[in-house]
Chains A and B, each alone.
Chain A
Amino acid sequence: MLFRMIRGVLFHQRGKMLLIAFTIALGASLATAMLNVMWDVGDKVNKELKNYGANITVKPKDSSLLSDIYDVGGEEELNTAYLREDELGKLKTIFWAFNIVDFTPFLDARVTLPDNSTVKINGTWFGHHLDLPTGESLDAGITGMRSWWDIVDGKWLDEKEEGAEREVMAGTLLAQSMGWQVGDTVLLSGSHGTREVTIAGIFDAGGDEDEQLYAPLDLVQELTDRENKVSSIEVSALTTPDNELARRAARNPAALSSRDYETWYCTAYVSAICYQIQEVITGSVASAVRQVAESEGNILDKTQLLMVLITILSLIGSALGISNLVTASIMERSQEIGLLKAIGARDYSITGVVMAQILITALAGFAVGYIMGFGFAQLIGHSVFGSAIEMKARVVPIVAGLIALVTLAGSLPAIRMVLRLRPAEVLHGGR
């Protein structure tokens, strides 16, 4: 009997029940989409912020000061401490390896041009292929870390291409003053050799780099006889915004209690990542580039908070919308409920039947809504960030619980109210 009654309503009042299911589906899809976007927006914006370049620099422990402070021309003799190029792969073996987005080494030198002028040449990686001890492989290099460079002419160097080891990229000011074009060959003399190189690209960086040369690391190492040596590494890492613990740890990790230390070490704070880099790169000091790291944290925090508040608003909106409609639909059925009461149905059995009908409708609405919400989330992810939004499993119980709660909150008081009316009055149509 109960099932027949439930089925009866579901089929005979199909239109009304569809309307409710539709509204619940909309609410559920809104909640699903917003919650998923909210939880993924941090990662997405974090990746976008990689536009600003490296947020960690790694330098040799002893000589980090010398080259910066002494503005000496032939600094090669002064700059005695180096990092080892063969250790760079270890960056991808640290605890937070997955968060290291990109990295590139630098080795600078001054080279003499045929007209006896000297320019600064920076050796670095350009899409350098790296096989890791873990069996994975990746391409790392400067290309992704200088998103603001404009390639005025030519193209980015790519080490995987034929002949790239004899190519360089020149800054636009340098190229202008020397009258270089893409494809020209130039003779570079370093302290330990001379190489003829081809200009592969001319870039506009809007800074000091415009008066410098960028070349594959190997070339600069050969020119100055510094095999396997690197003077600094830039690392771009996804980080968690600093909090009080991270700031304490940055000052002195040793002063933390073992529990705090563990929390800190296992959170992607920029100071924790720096610390782990120092552990794997011999004789290195890794420090956060505050300009990038600090601002990143700031903007991430704000974006996430903004999304949380918008999500809360839309959740409240859809919750109120659903419970409102459920209330309206029950009151609409006051006649039917009055009739049931008049022919002797008990209050609890009426409540049971109506609730069962509505919950079944809600379940159908939720299922459709979750799929729709998935679609909306992906629509937002693809059109804004160009990548899929990761669907979090915890969203399912949250949205299901929310829908159940909202449906109950919308229907129970309404049923009570209708039941309290006298059947005769309801059937008469007064009220």
Chain B
Amino acid sequence: MANRSTQKHTMTKRKMFLRMITSSLLRRRSRMIIALFSIGIGATILAGLVTIYIDVPRQMGAQFRSYGANVLILPKDGQTLTTKALNESLSSVPPEEIVGSAPYRYVRLDMMTRQQSFTAAGTDFNQIIRTSPYFSVEGSYPASIREILVGKEIAETIGLKTGSSIELTYQPPIREETDEDAAASGDFLSGSAEGFNGALVYVTAAIDDQAKITSIAIDATTQTPQYGGQVMENEDFEAQFIGKSVPLTLGEDVDALTGATITSTAVVTALNQARRTSVPTQPRSVTYTVTGILTTGGEEEGYVFMSLDDMIAITGENKIDVAELSISASADKLSSYVEQIEENSPVAKARLVKRVARSEAAVLSKLQALVFLVTAVVLLLTMICVSTTMMAVVSERRREIGLRKALGASDESIRAEFMGEALFLGLLGGIMGAILGFAFAQVVSVNVFGSSISFQPLLLPAAILVSMAVAAASCLLPIKRAIAIDPALVLKGE
């Protein structure tokens, strides 16, 4: 019985407490709205600015990638770097942090008709767009084979325009025949045979000292692209030749590519009839179409750019000299990736582009410090604003406190009620503010960086806790003052 009555008693007490809070909230609606509003603003600013602050390095870092590559991949001494080896070496870097990786192979090509020679770069245009966004192309990037991009300086000197044709010649380097060279690998098989419609297919294969094929390059640009032309792009077809030696038999050593039987036969025939030379090929000339003129303001304006496939076709070598990597990561992470690439890859070594990496770290750290300080100052001031408003709202109720005290309410119960009210407002305002703040951060991110911001789940409880703490703390002083005063004086209105 007694137990039940105390239970009932506490029940009613709790009910009464709740009713007092809710009725006070309802009765003094306008004042409470003001307080809630004020806490909400504070929490919005807190959540919004902190979200932006946390996300700024990532978002700004992405902007800094427009300065271009920050890591170079080079072959280790005496090794050959290929696209495949490049991709393998990149396995140590998380794919989402790689903005782009552009391979480059540089050779000199001659323009026989004008007795001039240019540096030509074989590369991947899809990657260049990402690693070198500052490239400005008048016209378009080459989309298919035998199309090239020409630097502005070259275009101006020899009067090239988008759509013009240019014949470029590759002169294979002359090797000095020494005993060491003869023993080393580096010999080539190069030959040609008639393919579809009697057009020539060119094949160049590098062989090692046991006459086994180590790499192969096929130029079947004379063939119909969707049939015979496929042999140039099909890596599986090319892979069949590796490790074998001539003569080869089609159907036994090598399977013909479906839909390209005539061309496949031509490739095998060309290899079987090939001459063994110490130079890859005879000088080869190819006519290219200019699809665009490149402006950069740098030395690239004196280069000719073509796809890696075209480069392999004209030089007969499948290798790259250097790869430019653009990685979106902090300075520390970059250095660790560089070490990892070097450790994990047998053929590739990595180097930081100091100019880009160092400068980015310097500027980015300043920007982050700026946003941090601004956030700190704004938050501090806003929180003080919130607490002054809360103080004003609470001290306004001195009369009520006095009345309640006169009616016999204990100091504790009054304090508990006010604190409960403040905490409730803090909770509500915190939730409101966290949502609005995230919405604000999202608007900023979309407008400034054009990408959505990542939501920080921890920020919701943080915003709520801070709002509740600020609300409760700013009530403490005015309540204490109100309670300390003699009820009669307060009620009299002094």
Contacts and interface: CB of A to CB of B under 8 A. Distances in A.
A379 B377 CA distance: 10
A1 to B, nearest CB: 22
A321 B382 CA distance: 8
B438 to A, nearest CB: 13
Interface in A7-44: 16, 19, 22-23, 26-27, 29-30, 33-34, 37, 41
Given A69-B153, A309-B444, A291 B353 contact: no
B31 A291 contact: no
A292 B444 CA distance: 25
Contact of A23 (B52, B389, B399): B389
A108 B117 CA distance: 22
B60 A19 contact: no
Interface string A307-339: 101100110111011101101110110010000
Interface residues of A, number: 74
Contact of A147 (B301, B358, B384, B444): B358
Interface string A117-157: 00000000000000000000000000000011110000000
The SS class assigned to the A binding surface is helix
A147 B363 CA distance: 12
B381 A295 contact: no
A30 B359 CA distance: 31
Interface in A172-216: 204-207
A380 interface: yes
Interface string B338-364: 000000000000011111101100110
Interface of A: 16, 19, 22-23, 26-27, 29-30, 33-34, 37, 41, 45, 48-49, 51-53, 57, 64-65, 68-71, 147-150, 204-207, 287-295, 298-299, 302-303, 305-307, 309-310, 313-314, 316-318, 320-322, 324-325, 327-329, 331-332, 335, 376, 379-380, 383-385, 429
Interface of B: 30-31, 34-35, 37-38, 41-42, 44-45, 48-49, 52, 56, 60, 63-64, 66-68, 108, 116-119, 132-136, 153-154, 156-157, 295-299, 301-302, 351-356, 358-359, 362-363, 366-367, 369-371, 373-374, 377-378, 381-382, 384-386, 388-389, 391-393, 395-396, 399, 440, 443-444, 447-449, 493
B133 to A, nearest CB: 8
B302 A51 contact: no
A26 B381 contact: yes
Nearest to B48: A313
A302 B60 contact: yes
B363 A51 contact: yes
B382 A317 contact: yes
10 contacts: A19-B388, A57-B297, A65-B157, A298-B63, A299-B64, A317-B382, A320-B38, A321-B38, A379-B373, A385-B366
A392 B377 CA distance: 20
A384 B363 contact: no
Given A68-B153, A317-B378, A325 B389 contact: yes
B448 A317 contact: no
A206 B70 CA distance: 11
B93 to A, nearest CB: 19
Contacts of A299: 60, 63-64, 66, 363
A26 B134 contact: no
